[in-house]
Structure 1
Amino acid sequence: MSLLTINGLEKTFKHGSTEEKILKGIDLDLSKGDMTALVGASGSGKSTLLTIAAGLQEATGGEIIFDSENLTALDDEQVREIRAKRFGFVFQQAHLVPFLTVQEQLELMLDTAELKWSKEERRQEIEDILEKVEMQHHRDSYPDSLSGGEKQRVAIARAVIHQPEILFADEPTASLDSKRSKEVMRLLTSLTKESSITVLMVTHDESALEYADYTVQMKDGLIEYPG
């Protein structure tokens, strides 16, 4: 069953009097619970496609249908609410808040998602996710005391703790060595599969592709189909 459908998506950037068309009519379906990897050379449009699908920037043309709702027809506040409550995000850098502990990072995400959970439900969810990402002994640690791999584990925990329906991952292993990359991908896959979270991931990491259900090759703003 399709959770997110992209129809004829276009994006044009203006540079003074000139225009550059980055996306040239993308069609893509993301099924519930599947991980789709976007690959292609730098400048092919991968990250632009991901950020538009995630509601982080506007398209020039086309539409994005999420759970039967046309995101491109909503106003900024409506899109922001969907992003906060129903989407999760993991980027190349962890982007943790420097003055918050690991536990406080997770509490902030729950506050942002405005979930109607009891105090006990929140506490238990935080305990569970910290154990799953093996960061329970770092709950009171600040980001500057964590390694790159530890920071990314916290970022993944933060991205899924509010139980989003779709997770957008932009180069989640790019800043890690090969060992840490595999650890992060195993963790990301296990947590999203466990909760049937749909994943759209941009990556240049070939080893990450073994975890994807589907791989989509992009070239010059289009999906490149075999043959």
Structure 2
Amino acid sequence: MPSQNLLELKAITKDYLLGKTKVSALRGVDLEVSAGEFTVVTGPSGSGKTTLLNIIGCLDRATSGSYTLDGEEVGNRDFDALAEVRNRKIGFIFQSFNLIPVLNVAENIEFPCMVRKDSEGKAALRQRVVALAAAVGLEPYLHHKPDELSGGQRQRVAIARALITEPRLVLADEPTANLDSATSEQILDLMLRLNREKGVTFLFSTHDPRVVRHARRALHIQDGKMVPGELQAEALKAAGTH
């Protein structure tokens, strides 16, 4: 029977060379995420969270192990093939927003579709942009540049941009790190609503206990290894997230 998981990692390792020294960032990571999940991965700095998201997001390749996304083995593909998978199936939300300063809100949201050179007409794309902007509370700001927006509004633009390609998976790397408490709550509530109403699968890396409290599943990584399930609660508590 075929797997129902959206993504599966099996025995993933990632090694780097610093001069002549080998550094193991990931050490045999296994992970399964089903479609529609709202999951966070916590861990101290240097534990492997960002490396894990980079591999899942097809921004990097594992040294060894198997990675299956949406039923396709992608871990053994070259970087051009990984870029195609990334553009078709994955959206990204970054803590630094990564908006293009010379483009307005509407242009930033539609930018991934322009890069992909989709066959969709400009009028149809702009209609989807407007609808998505309205869904995240940005419709009045479509013609504003990023420097005219608050931090929370910029993150809303980043969320809409991540969703415009209708990805199977959205990865969020510390999405609340540069936001105050009230704005973080608003952004998390928005992502939960999108998860619930549109079925978008979210996978976060975070240090933020507020994000963990909103998650439906919380995992912990330490020293490049996933902490076993029975130790998750203890590890999360030790990390200050409960």
Please report the TM-score for the alignment, with normalisation by the length of structure 1. 0.95
Structure 1 residues 193 and 115, CA, compared in 2 at 3 Å: closer, same or farther? farther
Q: Match for residue 76 of structure 1? A: 79
One-letter amino acid matched to 2:27: K
1:63 to 63, 66, 73: 66
CA–CA separation in structure 2 for the residues paired with 1:108 and 1:46: 27
Is the CA contact 1:85–1:112 (under 8 Å) kept in the aligned structure 2? no
Structure 1 residues 176 and 214, CA, compared in 2 at 3 Å: closer, same or farther? same
One-letter amino acid matched to 1:178: S
1:186 to 174, 182, 189: 189
Q: Match for residue 97 of structure 1? A: 100
Q: Match for residue 36 of structure 1? A: 39
Indicate yes or no: 2:210 matched with 1:207.
Answer: yes
Q: Match for residue 51 of structure 2? A: 48
CA–CA separation in structure 2 for the residues paired with 1:114 and 1:212: 34
2:224 to 207, 221, 227: 221
Secondary structure of 2:75's match? Answer: helix
Residues 74-223 of structure 1 correspond to what in structure 2 (within 5 A)?
74-223=77-226
How many residues end up aligned between the 2 structures? 227
Name segments (4+ residues, structure 1) moved above 6 Å.
none
User: Alpha-carbon deviation of 1:214?
Assistant: 0.9
CA–CA separation in structure 1 for the residues paired with 2:215 and 2:9: 19
CA–CA separation in structure 2 for the residues paired with 1:42 and 1:118: 44
User: Alpha-carbon deviation of 1:65?
Assistant: 0.4
CA–CA separation in structure 1 for the residues paired with 2:198 and 2:120: 18
User: Alpha-carbon deviation of 1:57?
Assistant: 1.1
Is the CA contact 2:12–2:28 (under 8 Å) kept in the aligned structure 1? yes
What is the CA RMSD across the aligned residues, in angstroms?
1.3
One-letter amino acid matched to 1:172: P
CA–CA separation in structure 1 for the residues paired with 2:165 and 2:196: 15
User: Alpha-carbon deviation of 1:75?
Assistant: 2.0
CA–CA separation in structure 2 for the residues paired with 1:79 and 1:202: 21
Aligned-residue sequence identity (percent) comes to 36
Q: Which runs of 5+ in 1 are unaligned?
A: none
Please report the TM-score for the alignment, with normalisation by the length of structure 2. 0.90
CA–CA separation in structure 2 for the residues paired with 1:30 and 1:5: 7
Residue deviations 1:11-58 (CA, integer Å, cap 9, x gap): 111111111111100000010010110001111111111111111112
